[in-house]
Structure 1
Amino acid sequence: MRILLILLAITWVGSSGAATITVTTTEDTVAADGQCSLREAITAANTDAAFNGCPAGSAADEIVLDAAEYRFDIAGAGEDANASGDLDIRSSLTLRGAGADLTRIRGDREDRVFDVGGAGSEVRIEGVTIRNGAGTLGAGVLLREGSSLHMDGCLLTGNATEKGDPAGAGGGIASLGVLEVTRSTFHANDAGTGGGIWTGGAGSTVLSNLTFDSNISLASGAAISLNAAATLNNLTLSLNFSDNDFDGMGDGALEVNAPVTVSNSIIAGNVDFSIVVAGAVNNDCAVGPSGTLTSAGNNLIGVLGNACVLAAAQPGDQSGVPGSPLDPQLQPFDVYGGTVEVFLPKASSPAVEAGSSVAQGNPGACEIDDARGVPRPQGSRCDIGAAELDDLIFRGGFDPPLP
């Protein structure tokens, strides 16, 4: 009993310094009007001082957002004190929305949405949609070196680096720090490289239970461009489009230029527009000279060959070859009971019950639940990809009886 009381006391002391800041207006304001806007809440957290209608932040604060849309109205890209343009997070905090389907943070297409920095800051963003951001590096979110970011249950959509600029990187997220993204979806983001996510620098990345659909790159990595070490598990990358300027200089939904480990993931059904100019075609992945894409088992890759090379292939891996791609047999991109869209596999999909049989918590195991929070497995084994088929009738391969 004494040990329990000591642990409770430690927990209370460790958390008592944090403040909860509730955003009370959807307007993008900096004014002494008695309201607490999202921009003002972040400033209060950054400075640990009361700011207009927001209480003082303290330590690792929590900012709470209602189910609403929060639009940026204060123009001024390139400013880093959170006074205009993007929202500049410079301290450790948690930004918590009501769910990606309910809480929407909308940029002005003149600047990115979030600039996450500050030495040693640990930031968590959950339950929001981030859209309409713009910026050469990180149109939706920029994570600076020396900081860490964990995003959970989010949708990043409609974020784009400058159109036609091949140097633009990270339509959804550009990361130079320590990045973890879970149970989230990247849809219709656009960049020179890394339409959904671009990583670089000395950081590291862990991605799990993510769906990438309709993301675009002028060059490589329509969904993801990894230029720093990464671990990928239970991802679905499908219908993403690389080499969108049709010049033959671009490859793959997944670009790998660093040590990367992948497991229980679908990378299939993507398009490399290099085919238009008869260039080398790598629809699904492209591994550069400085990269390795190492299997930890149970992946489904539409086409291996050319620059799409999987090292240490395991017996549970499945793939097609040029001219005969492996069809993942996915249902349409839609909401299937969660807060973000996913590709649910059909009952006939080769992804169904083809995930790892390793006990959860061990290397190569499936995530404990899917992108919607559905427990894994639903059958005898978990499914490959971000979404677990949870219709047990159709999983069995037969339709219910007619009434």
Structure 2
Amino acid sequence: MLKKSLGIGLLCMMGHAYGADIVVTTTEDIVKDDKECSLREAIEYVNLGLAKEGYMGCGGENSTANILLTDKKNYLLNKHIEIKKSLNIKSVDEDSNVVTDRNRVQGLYNARIKMKGKDNIFRILSGDDFVSVTFKELDLEGCGQSSCAVEGGIVYNKGKATFEYVKLSHGNASKGGAIYNVGNFGNYLGSIEVRSSLIIENEATEGAVLYSEHPSYSIQQSVIRKNKTTASNSVNIFTKAPFSALNPDDLRVGAARIVSSTLVQNTGNILNLVDGIIANNLTIVDNQGAGVLLQAPYAKAYLANSIILKNHQDCVFNNDKSLIQNNLTSISCGDGSNEAPNQIYKGTQLIATKDGSSQGSCLSLRENNRSELCPFETAENTFLGYMRPRILLNYRSIKESPIVNAGSSTIAENVLSCESSDQRGTNRSFNNAECDRGAIEIIVPTSGQLTGQDLKAGEIAKFSIAKFLGDSDLIPKEECNSIIGKNPNNEPWQDGCLRIVQTKTPSKGSTQIDIHGNLVYTPDSAWHGADIFEVQVVTSSTRFNVSKPYLPITTQIVQEPDNKFEDKTVKTSGGSLGILGILGLLSLISLRGLRKN
């Protein structure tokens, strides 16, 4: 069988770009003394101590413990790989000129490591030395069968495992469908850190996402979705309560954290909150099981600033004294603390879809003006999806929202404030108590970037301004008179209370808009040049700014005549393009304007 080699050219380019890092040059799972370096060989080379003579085609003098895989390549494994020394594994671009600042979204170009056999993928095994492993920009795909392993369907961790921009999927185990984390061993403690990652479609009897023998993990700015835990008394993120009444003074609040993350569409209970865990700024919505099992008898756990709704049961208490503060939830989670009480949701439909589920398209404010959240959606060219909060038309002020500006930003004794950034990395505001409940902090832009389209004569432009609206919706045209007043053009309002303001040219066409932000621009003739103007719209958030309710978006339409010139007699003999060829090149160089969307 031929090896799927990545090529010696790629080896040279990546070796030049990354110096002494170990470049994996084949996608095959092999151990053979040749010029190719497989993932298994690269890890074993690190395990053996990075000998200067290299190992099985991997490494050499001055090699580091950084192992590089190629973006979007598939690496299949027949059995698990043991990691016994600290190392890093990450995806890199084939282009050696795109090294430190790849102009692309992290998480969308991941190399894929898939278990072809019935096993887990990695086993991190600390010995005399503590082992720390970082996985970055990788898809780790489990065996996809029942019981890939007993513990850890994808990763078994006896050390420290860090995941950044990683997708963990299709793991299956008795304990820890995706990850199993060992607790105390010798003088060490196993720990897990998950950042900006997606954990999806894993299954286990206990802990489909994580089974941790100790509250020693951090999950932040991540999405946990469509996982399944089958034991009715277990949860998807399971932590053994390691404490007894003999040592309550040893408890440390924040030994484990799950923050600024979305947990949606999972089956089974979601999280058991034991002493030592902080759960803050979470969106725990539409799961087929209890949202949170509260099991912290020593009051060393927090559940705060979160949205916990539309689960089979939002909260279940068992000998618990957790500090429960400032959540938007149901009566099953109780009133919360006196210092920062919960808000009990009194709405009739939380999610703005036709059937109220967390899947589907988000309805406009015309179609639905009663639901506080959009369904879960992963936008184009993004790695992680989320549930966007909505600002409803019946709010007389933003203070009436149960989500927006409803988080606790005041730092006070025994009151947990909002996280400093949301799931998307957006910094939260702490001025005048303005931070939001849940995983997402609303973004309200003050202006849009340049948009528009290039046309040939006789064409019309179709493009969208939805991406410039931030986390807001356009105002339906029926509401414009009450918000803005009568249209000064004596015409019926369009959606968004649309206004066109010419900035650098006279008007050369007409613009129509719909409630979703789709624009149609029709030139009024076959003119040649540009029409530059501002599209100004009113959104669900900007309407509260009485003096400046409009969001301006600079727009440029460029129209060129249809170039029908064609010459089939241009010769290249003698090194000359000919005068017609030169004219053709000059005409191409003179074209300007925006790309078509």
Q: TM (normalized to structure 1)?
A: 0.74
- Gap change, CA 1:40 and 1:296, over 3 Å in 2: same
Residue of structure 2 aligned with 1:72, choices 76, 84, 104 = 76
> Which range moved further: 338-347 or 230-239?
338-347
Tell me what 1:82 maps to: none
Pair 1:207-2:219 in alignment: yes
Tell me what 1:357 maps to: 409
Percent of pairs with identical residues: 24
Pair 1:217-2:229 in alignment: yes
Give the root-mean-square deviation of aligned CA atoms: 3.4
Following superposition, the deviation at residue 286 of structure 1 comes to: 1.5
Tell me what 1:80 maps to: none
Tell me what 1:344 maps to: 387
Letter of the 1:253 counterpart: I
- Gap change, CA 1:285 and 1:305, over 3 Å in 2: closer
Aligned length: 345
Once the two structures are superposed, residues 267-323 of structure 1 have per-residue CA deviations (whole angstroms, 9 ceiling, x without a partner) of 232112xxxxxxxxxx21223476867326312222544437672222x32211359
Following superposition, the deviation at residue 364 of structure 1 comes to: 4.5
Residue of structure 2 aligned with 1:261, choices 278, 287, 302 = 278
Pair 1:235-2:261 in alignment: yes
**d(CA) in 2 for partners of 1:59, 1:387:** 42
Which structure has the highest strand share of the two? 2
**d(CA) in 1 for partners of 2:117, 2:298:** 33
**d(CA) in 1 for partners of 2:175, 2:428:** 34
**d(CA) in 2 for partners of 1:39, 1:180:** 24
- Gap change, CA 1:258 and 1:293, over 3 Å in 2: closer
- Gap change, CA 1:182 and 1:110, over 3 Å in 2: same
Tell me what 2:239 maps to: 226
Following superposition, the deviation at residue 64 of structure 1 comes to: 1.2
**d(CA) in 2 for partners of 1:59, 1:358:** 49
Residue of structure 2 aligned with 1:157, choices 141, 156, 169 = 169
Residue of structure 2 aligned with 1:93, choices 87, 111, 126 = 87
Tell me what 2:35 maps to: 34
**d(CA) in 1 for partners of 2:36, 2:84:** 22
- Gap change, CA 1:42 and 1:325, over 3 Å in 2: farther
Residue of structure 1 aligned with 2:209, choices 191, 196, 200 = 196
Following superposition, the deviation at residue 191 of structure 1 comes to: 0.5
Alignment of 1:3-402 (within 5 A): 19-47=20-48, 48-49=50-51, 50-56=54-60, 61-74=65-78, 85-98=79-92, 99-103=106-110, 104-119=112-127, 120-133=130-143, 134-144=148-158, 147-161=159-173, 168-176=174-182, 177-201=190-214, 204-219=216-231, 220-227=233-240, 229-242=255-268, 252-272=269-289, 283-288=290-295, 294-295=301-302, 297-302=304-309, 303-307=313-317, 311-314=322-325, 316-322=326-332, 327=350, 329-336=372-379, 340-348=383-391, 350-357=402-409, 364=416, 366-376=418-428, 381-390=434-443, 392=445, 393=469, 395-399=471-475, 400=496, 401=498, 402=513
Tell me what 1:10 maps to: none
> Which range moved further: 169-178 or 302-311?
302-311
- Gap change, CA 1:183 and 1:338, over 3 Å in 2: farther
Q: Which secondary structure state, in structure 1, belongs to the residue aligned with residue 43 of structure 2?
A: helix
Report the structure number with the largest CA radius of gyration: 2
Following superposition, the deviation at residue 235 of structure 1 comes to: 2.1
Q: Is the 8 A contact 1:330 1:343 kept in 2?
A: no
Following superposition, the deviation at residue 58 of structure 1 comes to: 6.9
- Gap change, CA 1:264 and 1:293, over 3 Å in 2: farther
Following superposition, the deviation at residue 262 of structure 1 comes to: 1.4
Q: Which secondary structure state, in structure 1, belongs to the residue aligned with residue 118 of structure 2?
A: coil
**d(CA) in 2 for partners of 1:57, 1:377:** 50
- Gap change, CA 1:60 and 1:53, over 3 Å in 2: closer
Letter of the 1:357 counterpart: S
Q: Which secondary structure state, in structure 2, belongs to the residue aligned with residue 345 of structure 1?
A: coil
- Gap change, CA 1:141 and 1:207, over 3 Å in 2: same
Q: Which secondary structure state, in structure 2, belongs to the residue aligned with residue 72 of structure 1?
A: strand
Q: Is the 8 A contact 1:370 1:387 kept in 2?
A: yes
